[in-house]
Amino acid sequence: MISSGRHPEDAPRLKFQLSQSAAAQKALKGRKPVAIENAWDDARVNPRARELMGIRGVAYLSLLSGNESFGLLILITRRPHAWTARQLDLARRFADVSSVALENSRLMTQLAETEVRFRSLVEHVPAIIYRCDVDPPFRTQYISPQTATMLGYSVDEWTRDQNFWMKIVHPDDMESVIGLAKESARGKGFTTSEYRLLDRAGEVRWFRDEAILVRDPSGSPVAWHGVLVEITGMKRLQH
């Protein structure tokens, strides 16, 4: 049995906290196993748990993650049991494995929640966020849904056609933008450019494109991460 000792009020459970006993608290705070050979008349064991679960022998082991103790592994027998050093050592190893699994689960949950918050932010800013290949034709790996409202193209159109960006960039701007991207990839890995895109209606729209080159651990470039901000109005004022 594994207990984190912390549950929401509506969680399915035995209606009492197994961690709320003197032995459990000692294991949690001391970070060492607490083994009880005969729990029948031992005041350190939760009396309700002892009665309902028929506890006779019990061992409490703290679940450790770094410097944090965040739960208990509780071993129960229905008869008095003399816990040997080998049994407690095996239980400790199992508790360590369980701790890693629980910690990984917690981290994955936190990561998923962070990703949801980040995606919500990305999908509501008044700009187009993208990730694309390093080299021409700059195949789109990801693009935010603002492309539909700002340019009239769906996300699927961008990601399905590996040449999509090449098809909508203004022909007079293509060479300079590609040259700047190649130069930045060889150098600082950051680029800012202004160029024209054609929207679905064929209208010319000016954008400022700011991108950073993302590299893998070996230093090899893997993608451009960038943001497109429309500056059509500013360009019109300049002329």
Higher per-residue confidence, 52 vs 56: 56
- Return the structure tokens found at 162: 């590996």
> Is the pLDDT confidence value at 79 over 70?
yes
Residue 3: predicted pLDDT: 45
User: What is the rounded distance in angstroms from the CA atom of residue 149 to the CA atom of residue 126?
Assistant: 10
Higher per-residue confidence, 75 vs 103: 75
* Lowest-confidence pick of 77-91, 97-111, 186-200: 97-111
pTM over 0.85: no
CB–CB of 60/24 below 8 Å? yes
Residue 122: predicted pLDDT: 62
- Report percent pLDDT > 90 for the chain: 43
* pLDDT, tens digit (0-9, with 9 covering 90-100), for 193-230: 999 999 999 999 999 999 999 998 888 999 999 999 99
User: What is the rounded distance in angstroms from the CA atom of residue 57 to the CA atom of residue 76?
Assistant: 6
> Is the pLDDT confidence value at 190 over 80?
yes
Residue 68: predicted pLDDT: 67
Residue 13: predicted pLDDT: 52
| Dihedral sign, Cα of residue 20, residue 22, residue 24, residue 25 | positive
The pLDDT confidence band at residue 113, using thresholds 50, 70 and 90, is: confident
> In the chain, what are the domains?
2-121 (3.30.450.40), 125-238 (3.30.450.20)
* pLDDT, tens digit (0-9, with 9 covering 90-100), for 15-34: 445 556 888 888 888 788 88
